[in-house]
Structure 1
Amino acid sequence: MARLPLAGIRITDFTWIGAGSYATKILADFGADVIKIESSRRLDSLRMAAPYKDGIKGVNRSGYFADRNASKRSITIDMKHPRAFGLIEKLIAQSDIVANNFTPGVMERFGLAYEAVCRIKPDVIYLAMSMQGSSGPEHRYLGYGASMAALTGLQHLTGLPGREPAGTGTNFPDHVPNPCHAAFAVLAALRHRRRTGEGQYIDLAQTEPTIALLGPTFLDLTVNGRLQQPNGNEHAWAAPHGVYPCQGVDRWIAICVMDDGEWAALIEVLGNPDWACEEALRRGDARYARRAELDAHLGSATARWVAEELMHELQAHGVPAGVV
């Protein structure tokens, strides 16, 4: 097997639950030796999250936990035990990276603030991933992916007009922006250390990568004076663009028509129904103006199809489509 890019890099990993565990998993998948530290008195609570292997509940049977912690080694240490610090000190001395996603103050109570860890390992890369960063008026706020999505406005924008926010269906900040930003920052720090011999303190406030997802939303406000609102599955200018029913119970397909060519291909697959053959609908602006009408017609048409069959047929004709 070829040597992986991060082979030889060791991480003492105090992260747990969501974004932190995903960040170190990314590094582990690229060859880093990640040693996950859990308290023997308080295991990572994700261990008790379903689904479980064979449907049997247990601390080593959670698929949710395994998804975030594959490729790692682990050890349980009671950090309040008198000998705990000595063990951790030896481990850090042999590590390149120390990672945590605790609220500020927890690592300090362990005796493992950045300055203390630097005395053990002067060129350490220290990754701290709290919700609001290590300083500022809200730095002690505790939060998870769902609360970050709500705080930043992501939840508000993800829903149907006039209804309660639906959210993204999962804690999106935990899965994409925050672990990916953290992993990228660690890679940059490793490169810096290779060139200069210096370690780094990475203070990643998890609200900030989540806000970065909303760049166009903020530009729309500051440049155009337009405050964006929830718009469900609609696109800003393209139509039809949404999720439509198919044969069976709760079977759906997502279809995105972004230009006139894709519209022509869509109606060809559907057999050129009368409602779609109006000359004006060849233009994107006309389709967008009548998007609600088109959604209703398209939903009636897709309901006669098996979702997978329609998806493959549309994709073969160059129309973006996917089974939900």
Structure 2
Amino acid sequence: MESNDEAGHAALPLAGCRVLEHSRTVAAAWAGRLLAAMGARVVMMEPPQGHRLRGAAPLIDGSGESALFAYLAAGKHSLLCDLATSEGKARFEHELERADILIDDTPLAERESQGLDAKRLGARFAQLVHVSVLPFGAHGPKAAWDGEEVNLLHAGGEGYLLPNGLSGELFPQRAPLKIYGHFAGYQGGCTAALAALTAWWAVPSAGGQYVDVSVQDAALAVGAFALQRLGDGSLEHRSTRSFRYGGVFEAKDGFVEVLTLEDRQWSALVQLLGSPAWAQEEALRDPLERSRRGGEINRHIRAWMAQERVEDIVRRAQALGVPAAKYRTPEEVLAGAHESARGLFAQATLPDGRAVDVLVAPFQFRCTTLEAHAHVPAPGELEKEDC
């Protein structure tokens, strides 16, 4: 008999897909979250003490619940499973018999003892898509290395390029930075989810597959443009990496980002600035000359921006066709008219019954509305159900 959960997901793209998630990292948990948002039934196989990220900062005020875990676990289910015991291994294999996809980030050194080595699972479950998500992948000289977010961000090259632009100008002596949060982990999770779907769709013709995802490689792909420029002998660095003109500017009451890549956008920017005499110079009609004189142009823009209010700048810029946007606080994002109109945020219910706002998904489908409400499972919640 179809459960209420499965009935509610019937119209979603991954309806009927069953995913088993054995995770401890953001990357693997995010891969499961993306599949759950598309309608897959995702079951987290948690250790007896609960998922490692249940206690991860930041905590939701007054609840003791991890905000990070709540976001990553919304829409999933939970079973407790101790893979150090024969009973736990038997339970895991029972779940694998019904699973289409396994997402696993267990370190290589622990997989055999826990019954999770790829060869064994491939022989036992011929139709299973087994997605391995490790900091540096499951093959190669760094396969056994551990890596936290700060390591992966810098190993992926992004840290080498930060801070840049306005941040680099304001704080030229600042050491390389880590982007706030879990940038590399989310990139690895996106890669793992896409790889899982690619392999799953090929199951009818190719059978199950083992998919090896490296979070470092996923993070490295984000900086592909910087790597591409190595081919023409250009090495980007945080002190030189910036838009030739444009970027982030400080206004009277906040910050605005402006990006003009096309001639028509440059012309509109000149209008926004009040068509000053310096911008009428014939040489500045040439985009290459504008690039060469980017620092000079930005000094003019910065002086103008400092006298204006953010909302006025953005309103006038968008009316003229200048790509410009305000840097908003989290509260402003949650209450934003655009976000509300698109239904980007919805409430998720915590195990204690409280409701919090979370992003439904980082994507939408044209013909299918994603489920707005989700719950964050308590440890082992499926123990109470006949699953």
TM-score range, shorter chain: 0.7 to 0.9
Q: Percent identity?
A: 26
Determine if the alignment matches structure 1 residue 205 to structure 2 residue 241: no
**Could you give the per-residue CA deviations for residues 262-320 of structure 1, whole angstroms, max 9, x where no partner exists?**
12211212222344333333332332222222222211211222223312321221111
Alignment of 1:14-33 (within 5 A): 14-33=22-41
| AA aligned opposite 1:190 | W
Unaligned runs of 5+ in 1: none
* C-alpha spacing 1:31/1:42, structure 2 compared with 1 (3 Å): closer
Partner of 2:161: 157
SS at 1:95 equivalent:
coil
Partner of 1:36: 44
Which of 258, 264, 269 aligns to 1:266? It is 269
| AA aligned opposite 1:311 | V
Question: 1:116 deviation in Å?
Answer: 2.9
Partner of 1:244: 249
Q: TM-score, normalised by structure 2?
A: 0.74
Inter-partner Cα distance in structure 2 for 1:174 and 1:139: 17
Inter-partner Cα distance in structure 2 for 1:91 and 1:233: 49
- After superposition, the CA RMSD in angstroms is 2.2
Question: 1:109 deviation in Å?
Answer: 2.2
Partner of 1:138: 142
| AA aligned opposite 2:145 | Y
Q: How many residues align?
A: 312
Question: 1:42 deviation in Å?
Answer: 5.0
Which of 180, 186, 200 aligns to 1:190? It is 200
Determine if the alignment matches structure 1 residue 227 to structure 2 residue 238: no
SS at 1:109 equivalent:
coil
Alignment of 1:58-207 (within 5 A): 58=64, 61-160=65-164, 163=173, 164-176=175-187, 178-196=188-206, 198-207=207-216
Alignment of 1:2-21 (within 5 A): 3-21=11-29
Contact (CA 8 Å) 1:78, 1:84: kept in 2 or not? yes
Where relative contact order (Cα < 8 A, 6+ residues apart) is larger, the structure is 2
Inter-partner Cα distance in structure 1 for 2:38 and 2:326: 31
* C-alpha spacing 1:308/1:20, structure 2 compared with 1 (3 Å): farther
Bigger Cα displacement from structure 2, 21-30 vs 277-286 = 277-286
Inter-partner Cα distance in structure 2 for 1:234 and 1:225: 17
Inter-partner Cα distance in structure 1 for 2:50 and 2:71: 20
SS at 2:11 equivalent:
coil
SS at 2:249 equivalent:
strand
Question: 1:65 deviation in Å?
Answer: 1.3
Inter-partner Cα distance in structure 2 for 1:56 and 1:78: 30
Inter-partner Cα distance in structure 1 for 2:178 and 2:277: 37
Question: 1:17 deviation in Å?
Answer: 3.1
Inter-partner Cα distance in structure 2 for 1:313 and 1:233: 28
* C-alpha spacing 1:122/1:260, structure 2 compared with 1 (3 Å): closer
SS at 1:272 equivalent:
coil
Bigger Cα displacement from structure 2, 253-262 vs 114-123 = 114-123
Inter-partner Cα distance in structure 2 for 1:234 and 1:112: 45
Unaligned runs of 5+ in 2: 1-7, 328-387
Determine if the alignment matches structure 1 residue 309 to structure 2 residue 325: no
